[in-house]
Structure 1
Amino acid sequence: MFVVLALIIASVILLIFFKNWKIVLATMTIVIINVVWVLGLIEVFGYQITILTGILPPLIIVIVVENCIFLLNKYHSEIIKHGNKIKSLTRVVIFIGNANLLTNATTAAGFAAFIVTGNQVLIEFGVVASLSILMAYVLTLFLIPIFFSFLSPPHPKHTSHLDKGIVSRIVEKIVFIVQNYRTIIYVITVVFVLIGFYGISLLKTTGNIVDDIPHRDPLYKDLMFLEKHFKGVMPLEISIDTKKPRGVLKLSTIKRIDQLQEVLSGYPELSKPLSVAEVVKFAKQAFYGGNEAMYSLPNSQEKNFIMRYVPDAKSGKRTIINSFVDTSMQVTRISVQMANIGTNDIQRIKDELRPKIDSIFPPDKYNVTITGASVVFLKGTKYLIKNLLTSLILALIAISILMALLFTSARMIVISMTPNLLPQIMTAAMMGFLAISIKPSTILIFSIALGISVDNAIHFLSRYRLQLRLNEWNIKVSVINALRETGFSMVYSSVVLFFGFSIFTLSTFGGTEAMGYLIAFTLLIALLSNLFLLPSLLLTLDKRITTKKFSEPLLEIFDEEIDIELDELRIEGIDTRGSA
């Protein structure tokens, strides 16, 4: 469903912007080829379709369309300049190819950061996503020029979107605001940052086992019914090692188990505990003819003959005793069901129980372990959050290194990253205001969004550097020209990405739904930040950040002034008849 929706949304947006069915069909052809590549990579690596790898096809669709938009806008702008189709397509490859390489590399880095998490599902997601994005770059860079070399040059009405129209008026309005109201832009930015930090202070790191199951789903309703009437279904187990064979059958051990069960009964989040102590109590009640008043532990005189009624774990038959003890009668467990509470409450209960357990079961005589699905979920959540935070830091470092290839000036790297950290702050703030907790299904969006949001900054700054050469280091003229030139593609691509990720909000799985609206919000803020804040910073800081190093990149983007005049080239005929 998501793939179909992504194709429909991308096609409609492309048709609205470019007003040309040929562009839509060519782009959709490239998109379908890339989707096939994604599915092929999943099969080649022997991976399964999971919740995360299942969202890759629609995700790749919007990323491919973004690549195509930057290439097509450059193609149209070149056609407007000189009308030479082959020269235009060549310049598309030369001028946009390197910038697109870097934008796709940073996006891939955002996904590749999941490889270090240690979680197999996230590792598979990171591997396939990063390779698919790099393949998307290669395919778009090759296929766009190939397809359009066979088509006739675009009609003037198909390139009119660069000179007039809503987006053109929006870009000119942005240019006017950046030139005349930079102080207001900075004030608004500071206010948003302060609001952002306050929102971040409201964030909570927690999660529930069934958090991402939709509340309308029958499974969730059944779980809530069981929680209401039986205090939950999430297992919490307490394993007790007596360190001696048949140590479980000692009356002193059974009394300690019963004492711990009384402690557990004091927690409203927990159900009635079950253990070997309950089996012994039932045995005593059965001995006295089912008298309910005799449902208690036997005394020292009753123990010897009542314990004979307890089933033998070594009898070879599966009995109730096998559910609580091992065959040597050395290790036993207390089984409790826990309500659907958050990880913070699970940790609180675990921390409170430990000293009480140690007071009942001396550590020198007993090994007591708190385990069960609830505790495993707690530890797994902490582990994932820690590793996802690490992956976010690694993504930030990797993206900075990649940007250093294009912008060798450290100051320029800092300036380019600043507008793209603001969306991260605002997204975290929105999560705080809306009480959306930090958990594995929400924290992974930051690496993804960071890798995608820097694309606009890279395209803008690459054009800015080129404009500096063309305008003899006139910073003001270069900033405005770069903003006018890249503004269209930034708006077009961000609109596609926004609506492309918004389709995930239709998912019934909470994690996918959250990823949809959180990344869409992040990309919207990133667009505004790169359109207003980034050029404002360049104009204000002026020559203090635009140093000579900025014009000497490791990854070269060619200068239009030294570009070969391809319209003067001729195809030379070759005599293939051979000599007599």
Structure 2
Amino acid sequence: MLTLAASDDRLDFFVMKKVARFVLHNKLFLTFLLIILTLVLAFYAGRIEVAFQYAKLLPDKDSAGIQYDKFRKYFKQDGTILVIGTELHHLYSPKVFNEWHILGNRIKRIKGIQSVVSIDRLMRVQYDDSLGKFNFLPRPLPEKMDSASISEYIDHVLLDKFYDEIIFNKKKDIAIMAVTFKEKELNSKLRLSITDSIVVHAQSFENNTSVTLHLSGMPFIRTMMMRKISSETTYFFMVGLMVVSVLLWLFFRSPVVILFSALVVIMGVVSALGLMVLLGYQLSILSGLLPALLIIIGVPNCILIINKYHHELRAGYPVEKALELSIRSAGSSLFFANITTAIGFAVLSLIDNQILYEFGIIASISVMLVYVYSIVLIPSLFSWLPAPKEKHLMHQEKKWLKKSLNSIALWTFHHRKIIFVSVLIIALIGFYGFTKIKALGYVVDDVPRREKMMQDLVYFEDKLGGVLPFEIMIDTKKNKGVFANNGKVLYRIHRAQKLLREYQELSRSISIADAVKFLNQAYCGKYSMPSISDLKKIADAIKNDSMYTNTLSEKGLLDNFIDSTYQIARISAQMKDIGSLKIKELLRDLQPRLDSIFNYDEDKRAWLPKEERVEIGITGNSVMFLKGNDFLVKNLIESIITAIVIIALLLLLLFKNPFMLLIAAIPCLSLLITSGIMGYFGISLKPSTLLVFSISFGIATDGNLYFLTRFRNAIQQQRKSYEEAIRLTIREIGMSMIYNGLVLFFGFGMFIISDFGGTKALGVLTAFTLLVAYSVDLIVLPTVLLTFRKLFGKGLEQHGND
């Protein structure tokens, strides 16, 4: 690794010497240019918008994604219903019933609301013998709003089996109001104001009645999550600045250092947001972390340059020369360190996922922009100031710091066996913990259980069986196939719904079969599947266009459950947030049972020919989450491996030694220890925790590069012996690595205060990983270099003595 040829080393030295002189000779122009660039990007940054559309987790060619798009083509978007629930017994009070009705009217008047369905605004159906058609009429409310009339009305409604466990559940004592959003408004900024208006009206109801309401459903959950993303972006930006400012003060005791470092990272953050707008990206749950991440990643750049500047001043150089030497020495290390960090982010853009792609592109570009800002602005700004006072340079003589670095050097030179044995034991313990990790995620995974949104979700799971959309799409592959062959598919849909009742994870389902039973109730007085002869008469009657207007949700009774050609039908249910593992188990069990209902001929005891088979697809938001979660986990693992390979090749190219691969593997030790911690503490493998490894590996390799480039420079430029170079490197670069490690640890650690579980896990695990990584780079790396001197020192010492 360290056997870089003399010509390459001289070239590297020459390039950085040219860069240093160019920066310092053109500092006014370059500073002005960067300020203008930042101001232009700041103009665009002011136009940043939060992403409102539902994140597409799967690539366009994925079969599950294609199936879901097909479902949306025929039945529009699922997850459009916001549910408001309360205890059913409260509605027997005239005052509460009246306020409930007023609440529905107010919500219905909000622009962007398609329909409101509740116990006081249900439809009833009548069969007109003379015309041979069904008429749909609103169920009239009591003329008198007294207790007796309302009780009679509600009791009569509760007998209607079509709405049972959908709009009310007498056994569970719940009544709900189902509020359907228009799809256009649901996927726009208007969703926020619409949801806010609903919440305000709900609070007015609670104030007037002292009855508690529960709100949930995908529109509500998405809106609340988006609110948190927006607020946490600003919050963590400010907290991040405060954390690094405190640490910089503790390190340097200089307000100038804090001010200049803050300027660099703020310009980086503004530039990142401006680039997002220019590239047409919006703020997502992931890109919302970028401002805080750039602060945490950018400050170590400043620390390394400033530490080197102070070191050269203490060596007796004047300001201009000290700054030139700091650029020459730190510039190369920082360049490659930032390259490896950018690679850690960039590999995310290789995943066919919009959120990760955008985050990877913006983060990798922004990391390199922050490098440019730091390498230009820090030396330029300090060059316009007088040399810092002696007290501001004394941080390099701190007793605890010198003692720590001397102890590291002592252990590295005299206790290498203990270090290697310790590493081996820790690695084995980590690997055992790694084997215990489970890949598990939830749809609403990032919100703490104490939040009212989560409490309301649990409420609906208990009372109704859940609020997460679960859809089954039945494609007969022929026109009017649902009613063909005497309604064979229709009756099988009814059987499939009976099967779904066996699954505790699902709510009561609803389908075209329920609609037919609803019509049959009007036709012959029984809420049941009609006989074949009655079904033919009902089928003839529903050809009337009135079936598609003024019905259940003011959208069309049949239109809710079947397409216009009667070829494709759906069974809709709601699911509890049971987690990806249980969803997978449910699908594995349910799919073949559904296939046997629709495609197995029990009379012939044989499967139907392929051309006669019905296509059964299970889809919906909950299923898409599972597929998306599996896709991201698989691809994030691949991206981590890609990052490791690319960074290893980069270091191989830089240091020209095949034993480079051994050094490149050292940061993997910290990843192994973190994965072990996850296994022991039951932290699941999911996209948010997997991002830890992709981000951490790129940053963790920085410590490797800081140490190696300084070590190489000590031998090849300063003519130090192999052992002297290691001691010098530990003493000089070790200080910056300790400072940087603490900044990264506390910087990422601040995410523990996040309300999002994923953000919290990302912060804590990344903080721990990087603390371990920097410790490994400072202790294990020099130990490896000393132990395997023949592998890494050959040619290097010879060149150093030339």
Name the TM-score, length of structure 2 as normaliser.
0.66
1:542 paired to 2:789: yes
Query: 1:355 aligns to what?
Result: 592
Alignment of 1:147-186 (within 5 A): 147-186=381-420
Write the letter of the residue equivalent to 1:150.
W
Deviations 1:90-144 (A, max 9, x none): 1111111111100011111111111111211212111111111111111111111
1:30 paired to 2:264: yes
- Aligned-partner SS, 2:482: helix
- Which of 531, 547, 559 is equivalent to 1:299? 531
Query: 1:116 aligns to what?
Result: 350
Alignment of 1:395-414 (within 5 A): 395-411=643-659, 413-414=660-661
Range with bigger deviation, 279-288 or 324-333: 279-288
Query: 1:573 aligns to what?
Result: none
Write the letter of the residue equivalent to 1:25.
L
- Which of 232, 237, 245 is equivalent to 2:479? 245
* CA deviation after TM superposition for structure 1 residue 3, in Å: 1.4
- Aligned-partner SS, 2:665: helix
- Aligned-partner SS, 1:410: coil
Query: 2:577 aligns to what?
Result: 340
Write the letter of the residue equivalent to 2:454.
Y
Write the letter of the residue equivalent to 1:120.
Q
- Which of 655, 662, 665 is equivalent to 1:415? 662
Matched positions, count: 550
Query: 1:441 aligns to what?
Result: 688
* CA deviation after TM superposition for structure 1 residue 288, in Å: 4.0
* CA deviation after TM superposition for structure 1 residue 15, in Å: 1.2
Write the letter of the residue equivalent to 1:380.
G
- Aligned-partner SS, 1:253: helix
Deviations 1:434-475 (A, max 9, x none): 222211122122111111111111011111112223676732
Write the letter of the residue equivalent to 2:271.
W
Write the letter of the residue equivalent to 1:440.
P
CA distance in 2, matches of 1:51, 1:359: 41
Deviations 1:391-447 (A, max 9, x none): 212211221232234321121x22322320011111112221222221112212211
Contact in 2 for aligned 1:203/1:438 (Cα 8 Å): yes
Write the letter of the residue equivalent to 1:299.
S
Range with bigger deviation, 381-390 or 8-17: 381-390
1:279 paired to 2:529: no
CA distance in 1, matches of 2:633, 2:701: 23
Query: 2:561 aligns to what?
Result: 324
Query: Given the superposition, is the C-alpha separation of residues 243 and 59 from structure 1 closer, same or farther in structure 2, using an over 3 Å criterion?
Result: closer
Query: Given the superposition, is the C-alpha separation of residues 312 and 274 from structure 1 closer, same or farther in structure 2, using an over 3 Å criterion?
Result: farther
Query: 1:394 aligns to what?
Result: 642
CA distance in 2, matches of 1:165, 1:327: 81
* CA deviation after TM superposition for structure 1 residue 161, in Å: 2.1
Write the letter of the residue equivalent to 1:273.
S
Write the letter of the residue equivalent to 1:255.
Y
CA distance in 1, matches of 2:281, 2:477: 43
Query: Given the superposition, is the C-alpha separation of residues 314 and 112 from structure 1 closer, same or farther in structure 2, using an over 3 Å criterion?
Result: farther
1:468 paired to 2:728: no
CA distance in 2, matches of 1:226, 1:551: 74
Deviations 1:515-536 (A, max 9, x none): 1111101101102111211111
CA distance in 2, matches of 1:107, 1:378: 30
Query: 1:137 aligns to what?
Result: 371
Query: 1:511 aligns to what?
Result: 758
Query: Given the superposition, is the C-alpha separation of residues 432 and 314 from structure 1 closer, same or farther in structure 2, using an over 3 Å criterion?
Result: farther
Contact in 1 for aligned 2:547/2:557 (Cα 8 Å): no
- Which of 292, 295, 299 is equivalent to 1:65? 299
Contact in 2 for aligned 1:406/1:462 (Cα 8 Å): no
* Structure 2 stretches lacking a partner, 5+ long: 1-234, 550-554, 600-609
Query: 2:69 aligns to what?
Result: none
- Aligned-partner SS, 1:82: coil
- Which of 411, 428, 442 is equivalent to 1:194? 428
Alignment of 1:371-390 (within 5 A): 371-390=619-638
- Which of 505, 519, 533 is equivalent to 1:269? 505
- Aligned-partner SS, 1:361: helix
CA distance in 2, matches of 1:90, 1:472: 20
RMSD: 2.2
Query: Given the superposition, is the C-alpha separation of residues 139 and 550 from structure 1 closer, same or farther in structure 2, using an over 3 Å criterion?
Result: farther
Deviations 1:180-220 (A, max 9, x none): 22222112211111111111111111211111123233222
1:74 paired to 2:322: no
Query: 1:88 aligns to what?
Result: 322
1:496 paired to 2:743: yes
CA distance in 2, matches of 1:237, 1:454: 46
Deviations 1:149-180 (A, max 9, x none): 12222222222222233222111111122222
- Which of 694, 704, 707 is equivalent to 1:457? 704
* CA deviation after TM superposition for structure 1 residue 301, in Å: 4.4
Contact in 2 for aligned 1:409/1:550 (Cα 8 Å): no
Query: Given the superposition, is the C-alpha separation of residues 132 and 379 from structure 1 closer, same or farther in structure 2, using an over 3 Å criterion?
Result: same
